[in-house]
């Protein structure tokens, strides 16, 4: 990895984190629910984009350096497994069993399906 790629990756991670905070705030201000929709939307959309990037990189349409910077940097900062885990535990502590199960399994299924869809679309292009 070149120093330029390393710097771009770090900057992209910071931008991804800021994008996550912004989008989560927008969703929380518009949706009043026990379900952490912001985190779900962020993780599912990040999985979709990562699948798409991976499909494009696999077919050598997207240079590997861009795949690294956007996929690892931006999307690494944008998506958040730890917040999803924390929110699931919080729901369990509140004894909101159905919501915690939906948050845990729903996010896993939706994010995995989104990644597969993105990979499939990336392979078509």
Known binding residues for Na(+): 76, 79
Provide CB contacts within 8 A for 102, sequence distance 6+.
35
Q: Is 91 exposed, middle or buried (0-12, 13-18, 19+ CB in 10 A)?
A: buried
Give CA–CA dist 55/33, Å, rounded: 35
Annotated binding-site members: 76, 79
User: DSSP letter string over 60-125?
Assistant: TSS-HHHIIIIIIIIHHHH--HHHHHHHHHHHHHTT-HHHHHIIIIIHHHHHHHHHHHHHHHHHH-
């Amino acid at each position: 990895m070149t120093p330029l790629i390393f710097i771009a990756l770090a900057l992209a991670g910071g931008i991804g984190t800021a994008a996550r905070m912004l989008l989560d705030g927008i969703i929380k201000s518009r949706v009043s629910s026990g379900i952490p929709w912001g985190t779900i939307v962020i993780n599912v959309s990040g999985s979709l984009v990562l699948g798409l990037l991976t499909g494009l990189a696999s077919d050598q349409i997207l240079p590997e350096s861009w795949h690294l910077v956007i996929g690892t940097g931006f999307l690494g900062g944008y998506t958040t497994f730890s917040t999803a885990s924390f929110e699931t535990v919080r729901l369990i502590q509140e004894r909101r069993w159905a919501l915690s199960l939906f948050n845990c399994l729903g996010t896993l299924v939706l994010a995995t399906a989104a990644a597969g869809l993105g990979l499939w679309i990336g392979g078509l292009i």
